[in-house]
Amino acid sequence: RILNSSSQLSSLPLQILFYVNGIYSIFYFLATLAMIVYKSQVFSYPDDFLAPDLAVLFLMAMLEVPRLYLGVKGNLREEEAALGLSLGLTVGSVVLSVYLLAWQTYVLWADVVLTAVLLCAYGLESGLKVTAIAAFVS
């Protein structure tokens, strides 16, 4: 085995980003859930508006786990297939967060800030994944 940094194609910034993203996703999920509970108490939140918002949040949480796992696995093993799949799941997560940013029943200012940060992280991640895939393929 040659521990030569020039032959190591795994991206370190991507790995760091995955790690930070994992922690932030947990925080984001708990914070958004707490805010939905707050909104349902303070504002008028009928059930047929509450259900889609909660469904989107839980769907995002469920997508996050395979996405991060596949990303980490693909990055560490230098497998472009897993990384590509993770990129696809990222697109789904981006769509769901755009829903939470723009089409939620009540969008609070805190919601906007948290989701914007999350979208920035996704964007940065996607960019780094693309470069990593390009590095693995070539």
Partner 1 sequence: SADTRGAAQARACSAPAPVTDVARLCVCDLLVAQCDVNCCCDPDCSPEEFSLFTACSVPVVIGDSHLCRQKAAVYSLDVEANPPERIFQLVDQVNPNIFCIHAANYKQALYLRSPKMPTPENFDDLLNEFGSAAFNAEPESWNVDTDVPGPPDANETQRYEYGIPIQTEDAFLRLPSPVVSSWCSDANPAGFLVNQATKCIRSVSVEKCESIQALNMLFYINSSILAFVFQVNISVQSIVVQSLDGTRTLLNGADVLRLPMILDELCLNIVLGVSYHVTYTDTGEIIEAAAAFVLGAITKETLSIQQSFQVSFTQVDTKPAPLSGNPGYVVGLPVRAGFSSQGYPFPAEFLFAALGLSTNKHRQLSILQSTPTQDCLAAQGARAPVLFGYNMISGCKLRITAPMKCQPLAQTLLDVLKGQSFPEYVASFGNSQAQDVLDWVPITHLHISEQRISNTSQSSCQIPVSFGIEVKWTKYGSLVNPQARIVNVTATLTTTTLKQLPSGRERTIPVTSSVVFTDISSPAEPGYKAWPTINIKLPFDFFYPFV
Binding-site size, partner 1 (CB under 8 A): 20
Binding status of residue 49 toward partner 1 by CB under 8 A: yes
Residue 38 interacts with partner 1 (CB under 8 A): yes or no: yes
Could you tell me the smallest distance in angstroms from the CB atom of residue 134 to partner 1? 38
Nearer to partner 1, 23 or 42 (CB): 42
Binding-site member from 5, 7, 44, 138 for partner 1 (CB under 8 A): 44
Per CB under 8 A, contacts with partner 1 among 90-129 are: 102-113
Contacts from 96-103 at CB under 8 Å and sequence distance 24+? 96/56, 96/59, 96/60, 96/63, 97/60, 97/122, 99/56, 100/32, 100/53, 100/56, 100/57, 100/60
Per CB under 8 A, the list member of 2, 3, 23, 42 interacting with partner 1 is 42
Instruction: Quote the CA–CA distance of 138 and 33 in Å, as a whole number.
Output: 43
Question: Which residues, other chains included, contact 57 with Cβ-Cβ below 8 Å and sequence gap of 6+?
Answer: 29, 32, 33, 36, 100
Is position 29 an interface residue for partner 1 (rule: CB under 8 A)?
A: no
Residues that bind partner 1 (CB under 8 A): 35, 38, 42-46, 49, 102-113
